[in-house]
Amino acid sequence: MSCADWECFCTICGGPLRNVSYFIDDDEGSPRPGLDAYDPSVFLTRPDYPELEWLDDIRALGENLETSAPSTVWLSGPASVGVDGDVRFDVGKDSDPALLDLPGAGYAQAYCLEGRDPWCAPFHVKCHEVLRRFLGLESLDREVLNEMFKSLASRDEFATCLKMDYGDITEHRTRDWFPLRHHEYLVSDPIDIEWLARFYEKFPLRRKGDEELGGVYNTRGDPFSKLPSDILSLLALSIPTMEGVFEARVASPALANVPLSQSFWRARILQDMPWLWDLPISTDEQRLLVDWSRVYRELFWGSQRNRTLGLCNRRRIWTQTCPQLGKQYASITEARNK
Ligand SMILES: [Zn+2]
């Protein structure tokens, strides 16, 4: 009996492992009302929607316990998924040794932790890259990766993903992928983001009069008023979230009197949005002329639900699933190094 009788999803992001452009409602003659299709206007390059091609660029990582190869773990080449939880890929002379003697070569059931089928987990190539960036490694060790996936696997024979909290995307997975309008970010490319590339090329510049004035609040009775402003600036930078910074500024007039400088905002971008690994190193000229508070706002709000689609998906994967996977990866690596 197969482990799954329906679609399987990406191990890392939980999204569909096939191009879902057919869920785009682009029948201009009689658009379908309701929420069962994506809005064509958000995928701008009709008719092929190359923005969605990343979805079927997938690989599978699995194992072959019967192999005579030195490692039981294998990584497939380009793969595709079927309609009953299966993953298909070519096996040739260049394939991993553990694939060459895998029973039913070129075909594997996904997420079968138990039973007669060998273990296999499919994922998007780009999600693998997000995870690698999250872990800050040059490359991911496939044996550790495999052990990590298995450590989070469900014993449910109908599993279509790992047993971890995938967040908002979970409600879009029923028997098949279930598209919801205004949730287009869930299927958007998390790596190559056209808006982000354009934004990086032309940061907004400061205008005269933009500077925040300091020292306008009465600090009598505020114990923080004894601290110099550079220490208060460091204090503001050490508060984990901007929400916390604003709350602290409401509670302390002395803290509110310290202007949030351009260097403060530039530092907060790196601190608060670690998923912006491609943020260019700023030049001296940019440090002086760019409006870093606006850069912060645009990137922060742009990465919120369904605003800048690919950026939202990158942030979602980075903050929702990468920490759960990363924790396992670190502990497995540590145990192996003992
Ligand atoms: Zn994915």
| Domain limits, the chain | 21-184, 194-310
- What is the model's pLDDT at position 46? 59
Stated pTM of the model: 0.90
Please say whether the beta carbons of 169 and 316 come within 8 A.
yes
Please say whether the beta carbons of 71 and 63 come within 8 A.
no
Gap from CA of 229 to ligand 1 centroid (Å):
45
Measured between alpha carbons, how far is residue 316 from residues 13, 105, 190 in Å?
Answer: 8, 34, 9
Q: Which residues surround ligand 1, an ion (CB under 5 A)?
A: 10, 12-13, 15, 124, 127
- What is the model's pLDDT at position 321? 97
Ordered per-residue pLDDT tens for the chain, 338 residues: 445 457 899 999 999 999 888 777 666 544 455 547 788 777 766 566 778 899 999 999 999 998 999 999 999 999 999 878 889 999 988 899 999 988 887 888 899 888 778 899 999 999 999 999 999 999 999 999 999 999 999 988 788 999 999 998 888 777 778 888 888 999 999 999 989 999 999 999 988 776 666 667 888 888 888 888 889 989 999 999 999 999 999 999 988 988 888 999 999 999 999 999 999 998 999 998 999 999 999 999 989 877 888 999 999 999 999 999 999 999 999 999 88
Gap from CA of 207 to ligand 1 centroid (Å):
41
Q: Which ranges of the chain would DSSP assign to H, the alpha helix?
A: 97-100, 125-135, 142-151, 194-201, 229-238, 242-251, 253-256, 262-272, 284-289, 292-302, 309-316, 322-337
Gap from CA of 297 to ligand 1 centroid (Å):
27
> Residue 42, Cβ neighbours under 10 Å: how many?
15
Gap from CA of 16 to ligand 1 centroid (Å):
7
Amino acid sitting at position 312: C
Gap from CA of 63 to ligand 1 centroid (Å):
20
- What is the model's pLDDT at position 216? 77
CA atoms within 13 A on the CB side of 232: 22
Gap from CA of 92 to ligand 1 centroid (Å):
25
Determine the Cα–Cα distance for residues 138 and 153; give it in Å rounded to an integer.
25
- What is the model's pLDDT at position 29? 43
Gap from CA of 28 to ligand 1 centroid (Å):
30
Determine the Cα–Cα distance for residues 102 and 319; give it in Å rounded to an integer.
36
Gap from CA of 245 to ligand 1 centroid (Å):
34
Residues 6 or more apart from 255 whose CB is under 8 A from it?
Answer: 224, 232, 235, 236, 248, 249
